[in-house]
Structure 1
Amino acid sequence: MSDLVFDAVSVRYGGRRGLTAVDQVGLTVPSGQVVGLVGESGSGKSTLARAAVGLSPISGGRVLLGGVDVRKLPRRRPLQMVFQDPYSSLDPRMSIGESITEAIPRDVLSGRAARRDEVARLLELVNLDPDRAGHLPGQLSGGQRQRVALARALAGRPEVLIADEITSALDVSVQGAVLNLVREVQQRLGLSMLFISHNLAVVRYLSDIVAVMYLGRIVEAGPAEQVLTDPQHPYTRDLLAAAPSAHTSLFDTGTDAATADTEPADPHHPPPGCRYHTRCPIGPLARADRELCLEADPAVDAARRRHSAACHFSENESHRSHQPAISRGATAP
């Protein structure tokens, strides 16, 4: 197994004056571990994932797997992705057995019988009856289709698996079962995984490391237990405070009223200085003397701070109390 490394990766659309969806992101997915990437919709999470598998253009930096640029890897890449919508990621005219067989590398298994046996093994691995190999995706439930999508990704013999919001399109009743399956498969195969979600409870359940993304940048990253119990960046604290729990209602976010309803800045024209200062409850909106947030980019020296927090005043504010963190339960949320 090898580390997956995002080395100052940028993704731009529309040239220099267009949208920078991902801006100089540095992130490592260590071998055999799960990194949970969390943030609001539009923060750049999915774009970063798509850049890793070659579906979004990398305009700056590199994505490295085992020290090798993924753009230089052979066609059979040891990097596979499971997408959010299992129905759109599967060909509705192909049986699930055909879809999985198509993903099996021919240099690994070439005989028809061997490939049929491999399909059966993969279906059993994701807790599906091998007899379903002849079914079409439309004959399966959403949870079953997502299991097929996972089996198809595993058919490529990956070292790293990227899962992009894989439970958000599923009924709540089956989300937990799919999450349990993902964790079981990851541990059994020793896969490295980048798990993307906006749900902090889900990320906490699966992840060894948590990275928080805002407006195309990583604003905080560290061991999951530390980040979610002692967050350093105000955006991470706001995400935690907004997550419904036994301590808060769906309508009581616990965040400052002046910032809770503030929309994110325009990603086409991100604000100077700290990108979060237009919403930040500890920045110039609340403290007029903190003009530094308007002028200097805290990402420049983030490495010196705990969890590499991109916040000038994280060390001043981290001792303050915040909403109770999401605890790790014995079962999936």
Structure 2
Amino acid sequence: MSDLVFDAVSVRYGGRRGLTAVDHVGLTVPSGQVVGLVGESGSGKSTLARAAVGLSPVTAGRVLLGGVDVRKLPRRPPLQMVFQDPYSSLDPRMSIGESITEAIPRGVLPGRAARRDEVARLLELVNLDPDRAGHLPGQLSGGQRQRVALARALAGRPEVLIADEITSALDVSVQGAVLNLVRSVQRRLGLSMLFISHNLAVIRYLSDIVAVMYLGRIVEVGPAEQVLTDPQHPYTRDLLAAAPSAHTSLLDTGADEPTADVEPADPHHPPAGCRYHTRCPVGPLVRADRGLCLQADPTEDAAQRRHSAACHFSENESHKLAIPRGASAP
């Protein structure tokens, strides 16, 4: 198994005057571990995932698997992705058995019987009856289709699996079953996984490491329990405060902090200095003495701070959180 490393990766659309969706991102998915990537819509999470599998152009930097640039790996690299929408990720004219067979690397299983047995094994692995192999996607529910998409990704014999919001299009009643399946398969096969979600309860349930993304950059990363109980970046704290739970939120600071109730900055023209300063509840909007946030980019020396937090004042503002011990996936 190998680490998946995003080495100063940038993804830009539309030339110099276009949009930088991912900006100089450094992130490591350690071998055999799950990294949960969280952030609001438009933060660049899915673009980063698509860059890893070659579906978005890497404008700068490299994506490395085992120290090798993924662009130099074979046509079917040991890196597979499960997409958000199970209704569009499968060919409606192909049976699910044909879709899974198509993903099996050439030469690995010669002979129809061997490939048929492998399809049956993979369907059983994702808790589907092998008799479903002859069915079309339109004959399956959303949860069943997402299981087929997972089986298809596993057919490629990946070392790393990328899951992009794979439960967001599913009914709440089946989300938990799919998440339990993903966790079981990851542990059984020892896969490395980048799991993308905007749902913090899901991220906590699955992840060993949590990375928080805002406006194209990673603003905090660290062990899951540490990030979720002692967040260093104000954006992470705001995400936790907004997350619903049995106790209204995952965040309990014991104090009322003012929150900048404004829209995110324009990603085409991100602000100078700290990109979060236009919304930050502890930044220059509410603290006149923190003009540094308007001028200096905190990502430049983030590695020196706890959780690599991209915040000049992270050590001054971190809070202990009370997260219910019984919190679990939906």
Question: TM-score scaled to structure 1, two decimals?
Answer: 0.95
Q: Bigger CA drift: 46-55 or 108-117?
A: 108-117
Are the structure 2 counterparts of residues 254 and 11 from structure 1 closer, same or farther at C-alpha, using a change threshold of 3 Å?
A: farther
Q: Which residue of structure 2 lines up, in the alignment, with residue 29 of structure 1?
A: 29
Q: Which residue of structure 1 lines up, in the alignment, with residue 319 of structure 2?
A: 319
Q: SS at the partner of 1:100?
A: helix
1:258 is displaced (CA, Å) by 5.7
Question: Is the Cα–Cα contact under 8 Å of residues 104 and 155 in structure 2 kept in the other structure?
Answer: yes
Question: Is the Cα–Cα contact under 8 Å of residues 243 and 253 in structure 1 kept in the other structure?
Answer: no
1:76 is displaced (CA, Å) by 1.7
Distance 1:66 1:14 in 2: 31
1:249 is displaced (CA, Å) by 6.9
Q: Bigger CA drift: 52-61 or 106-115?
A: 106-115
Question: Is the Cα–Cα contact under 8 Å of residues 242 and 253 in structure 1 kept in the other structure?
Answer: no
Question: Is the Cα–Cα contact under 8 Å of residues 302 and 310 in structure 2 kept in the other structure?
Answer: yes
Q: SS at the partner of 2:17?
A: coil
Question: Is the Cα–Cα contact under 8 Å of residues 122 and 151 in structure 2 kept in the other structure?
Answer: yes
Q: SS at the partner of 1:16?
A: helix
Q: CA RMSD in A?
A: 2.0
1:12 is displaced (CA, Å) by 0.1
Q: SS at the partner of 1:254?
A: coil
Distance 1:149 1:111 in 2: 23
1:326 is displaced (CA, Å) by 3.8
Are the structure 2 counterparts of residues 123 and 139 from structure 1 closer, same or farther at C-alpha, using a change threshold of 3 Å?
A: same
Question: Is the Cα–Cα contact under 8 Å of residues 204 and 328 in structure 1 kept in the other structure?
Answer: no
Distance 2:36 2:67 in 1: 21
Question: Is the Cα–Cα contact under 8 Å of residues 201 and 327 in structure 2 kept in the other structure?
Answer: no
Q: Which residue of structure 2 lines up, in the alignment, with residue 307 of structure 1?
A: 307
Q: Deviation per CA, 1:20-76, whole angstroms, max 9, x where unpaired?
A: 000000000000000000000000000000000000000000000000000000012
Are the structure 2 counterparts of residues 213 and 10 from structure 1 closer, same or farther at C-alpha, using a change threshold of 3 Å?
A: same
Q: SS at the partner of 2:26?
A: strand
Question: Is the Cα–Cα contact under 8 Å of residues 96 and 136 in structure 1 kept in the other structure?
Answer: yes
Question: Is the Cα–Cα contact under 8 Å of residues 163 and 196 in structure 2 kept in the other structure?
Answer: yes
Q: SS at the partner of 1:300?
A: helix
Q: Deviation per CA, 1:249-281, whole angstroms, max 9, x where unpaired?
A: 799999978635311000000000000000000
Distance 2:32 2:19 in 1: 34
Q: Which residue of structure 2 lines up, in the alignment, with residue 254 of structure 1?
A: 254
Q: Which residue of structure 2 lines up, in the alignment, with residue 328 of structure 1?
A: 325
Q: Which residue of structure 1 lines up, in the alignment, with residue 281 of structure 2?
A: 281
**Structure 2 residue ranges without an equivalent (≥5):** none
Once the two structures are superposed, the pairs formed by residues 1-333 of structure 1 within 5 Å of their partners are 1-248=1-248, 259=259, 261-319=261-319, 325-327=322-324, 329=326, 332-333=329-330
Distance 1:18 1:76 in 2: 30
Q: Deviation per CA, 1:211-231, whole angstroms, max 9, x where unpaired?
A: 000000000000000000000
Q: Bigger CA drift: 264-273 or 246-255?
A: 246-255
Are the structure 2 counterparts of residues 109 and 330 from structure 1 closer, same or farther at C-alpha, using a change threshold of 3 Å?
A: farther
1:332 is displaced (CA, Å) by 3.1
Alignment length, in residue pairs?
329
Q: Deviation per CA, 1:149-199, whole angstroms, max 9, x where unpaired?
A: 000000000000000000000000000000000000000000000000000
Question: Is the Cα–Cα contact under 8 Å of residues 205 and 329 in structure 1 kept in the other structure?
Answer: no
Distance 2:151 2:130 in 1: 12
Q: Bigger CA drift: 251-260 or 269-278?
A: 251-260
Question: Is the Cα–Cα contact under 8 Å of residues 204 and 224 in structure 1 kept in the other structure?
Answer: yes
Distance 2:251 2:229 in 1: 22
Are the structure 2 counterparts of residues 15 and 129 from structure 1 closer, same or farther at C-alpha, using a change threshold of 3 Å?
A: same
1:17 is displaced (CA, Å) by 1.2
Are the structure 2 counterparts of residues 251 and 293 from structure 1 closer, same or farther at C-alpha, using a change threshold of 3 Å?
A: closer
**Structure 1 residue ranges without an equivalent (≥5):** none
Q: SS at the partner of 2:167?
A: coil
Question: Is the Cα–Cα contact under 8 Å of residues 82 and 153 in structure 1 kept in the other structure?
Answer: yes
1:319 is displaced (CA, Å) by 4.3
Are the structure 2 counterparts of residues 253 and 169 from structure 1 closer, same or farther at C-alpha, using a change threshold of 3 Å?
A: farther
Q: Deviation per CA, 1:68-106, whole angstroms, max 9, x where unpaired?
A: 000000012100000000110000000000000000112
Question: Is the Cα–Cα contact under 8 Å of residues 234 and 282 in structure 2 kept in the other structure?
Answer: yes
Are the structure 2 counterparts of residues 276 and 184 from structure 1 closer, same or farther at C-alpha, using a change threshold of 3 Å?
A: same
Q: Bigger CA drift: 106-115 or 145-154?
A: 106-115
Q: Deviation per CA, 1:98-130, whole angstroms, max 9, x where unpaired?
A: 000000112211210000000000000000000
State the percentage of identical aligned residues. Answer: 92
Q: SS at the partner of 1:283?
A: coil
